[in-house]
Amino acid sequence: MDLTVNITTQQDNSILGVISGEIDAHTAPKLREQLLAIDTKSTNKAVLDLAGVGYMDSTGIGVIVAFYKSVIADGGELTLIGLSPRLKRLFDITGLSGIIHVEEEA
* pLDDT in the model for residue 24: 95
Residue closest to 80 by CA, chosen among 93, 98, 55: 98
**What average pLDDT does this structure show over 65-82?**
95
Angle between helix 28-36 and helix 58-73 axes, rounded to 10 deg: 10
Q: How confident is the model at residue 105 (pLDDT cuts 50, 70, 90)?
A: low
The residue among 47, 63, 52 whose CA lies nearest residue 87 is 52
- Whether the per-residue pLDDT at 106 is higher than 60: the answer is no
| Mean of pLDDT over the chain | 93
Element containing residue 86 per DSSP (H, E):
helix 85-93
Residue 99: pLDDT band (50, 70, 90) is very high
pLDDT, average across residues 50-60 = 95
- How far, in Å, CA of 94 to CA of 13, rounded? 30
